[in-house]
Amino acid sequence: MSEHKSVPALFAPAQLGELELSNRLVMAPLTRIRAETDGTPNELMKEYYAQRASFGLIITEGTWPIQEGRTWDTQPGIATQQHIDGWREITDEVHARGGKMVMQIMHGGRISHPELSGTGRIVAPSAIPSPNPIRISTGKVNAPVPHVLTQEEIPEIIEQFVTAARNAMAAGMDGVQVHGANGYLIHEFLAPSANTRTDSYGGSPENRARFAIEVITAVAEAIGADKTGVRFSPEHNIQGAVESDHEDALATYFALAEGISGLKLGHVEIVHHEPDGDLVQGMRKLIDAPVILNTGFTRFSNREVALGLIENSVADAVSVGRLALANPDLAQRWQEQAPLNEPNPETFYVGGAKGYTDYPVLQYS
């Protein structure tokens, strides 16, 4: 018993909703764009995820529910039988190694281009293009003006999330994570800079939160709330989803938290630089669900921060991005205070095994 007590809670087995995890260290969703051009996951991806099965939970890279929601070439999808079969091989391997895995379902919204979407259009809440260029086959180009989703089209998009969630479960996932962060479609509805609608999906904080609540509720009804998670990044201010008015952000994300609190979701992941601040902890009080925290891009999620978040009960689990891609055995390294591999940003988004499956694990002679 005393032996067990000496293990910090971060590294000890834990229950996250219905999921039994081997530790509270979560691999954050990390886009690596190494699937086939039609979005089918491949052997290389299987090796990469299998190497990281010792994380308590793996959240997959953002995966498109329908090609119109695709943001990059060779980003994986979960729309076809080939996608399901490819992901099934990955979940089987991760499970065989004792890991757990949920799929991040990501509709890119206006962070796309007709060349990628295949429908001749890209969609968003309002006709405001992304301020960032979009990468297509000829290089980086200005983001196009998106098609404004009509009230009639919104249920179709919600249905696309639902179908993708069902497909993810058919692929053997332990659950899904709806991507509501980082400036993609759901976040575009939340952020006043990207949503200037005057109907029931725009204007007030409650209205801007509506689409997110509807998507999450529909997915939870389809696959079970305990299998459904979501990621938000309030005040992250990237890709033109700007939430610079703190009072407005509080009102929007509290409305959102209230709208999903009755569901009893499997998890809610929040990306924020101030995990113990009023926004995150206010949301946490309202949401009746385990909270995974990610401290965001401003600093690396390091060992001391992660340990502190759990020891001080600021979060139920901690997700780690860059150090997870560079350290397949991060839980062991952190537990033993062993040296870490440095992530190489030059290989984040290029194809191939280099900087993907060749980061070494600890070797003992």
Which residues of the shown chain bind ligand FMN in the complex (CB under 6 A)?
A: 28-31, 61-62, 104, 179, 181-182, 231, 271, 294, 296-297, 300-301, 320-323, 348
CB 260 within 8 A of CB 216: yes
Q: Is 264 left (phi over 0), alpha (psi -120 to 50) or beta?
A: left
In the bound state with ligand FMN, the residue whose beta carbon lies nearer, of 30 and 213, is 30
Q: Can you give the three-state secondary structure of the chain, one letter per residue?
A: CHHHHCCCHHHCCEEECCEEECCCEEECCCCCCCCCCCCCCCHHHHHHHHHCCCCCEEECCCEECCHHHCCCCCCCECCCHHHHHHHHHHHHHHHHCCCCEEEEECCCCCCCCHHHHCCCCCEECCCCCCCCCEEECCEEECCCCCEECCCCCHHHHHHHHHHHHHHHHHCCCCEEEEEECCCCHHHHHHCCCCCCCCCCCCCCHHHHHHHHHHHHHHHHHHHCHHHEEEEECCCCCECCECCCCHHHHHHHHHHHHHHHHCCCCCEEEEECCCCCCHHHHHHHHHCCCCEEEECCCCCCCCHHHHHHHHHCCCCCEEEECHHHHHCCCHHHHHHHCCCCCCCCHHHCCCCCCCCCCCCCCCCCC
Q: How far is the CB of 8 from ligand FMN (least distance, A)?
A: 18
Minimal distance, residue 29 CB to ligand FMN, in Å: 4
Rounded to a whole number of angstroms, the minimum distance from the CB of residue 296 to ligand FMN is 5
State both tokens at 217: 């509720």
Nearer CB in complex with ligand FMN: 31/217:
31
Tell me the β-bridge partners of 103.
176
Q: Is 364 a catalytic residue?
A: no
Closer CB to ligand FMN, 207 or 280, in the complex: 280
Query: Shortest distance, CB of residue 358 to ligand FMN, whole angstroms?
Result: 16
Looking at 48, 184, 201, 356, which residue is catalytic? 184
Distance CA 193, CA 204 (A): 13
Shortest gap between Cβ of 75 and ligand FMN (angstroms)? 8
Nearest residue (CB) to ligand FMN, 75 versus 207: 75
Residue 256 CB, shortest distance to ligand FMN, in Å, is: 16
Distance CA 167, CA 132 (A): 31
Cβ-based nearer residue to ligand FMN, 297 or 314: 297
Residue nearest to ligand FMN (CB): 321
Q: Which amino acid is at 106?
A: M
Nearest-approach distance from CB 364 to ligand FMN, in angstroms: 26
Residues belonging to the active site: 184
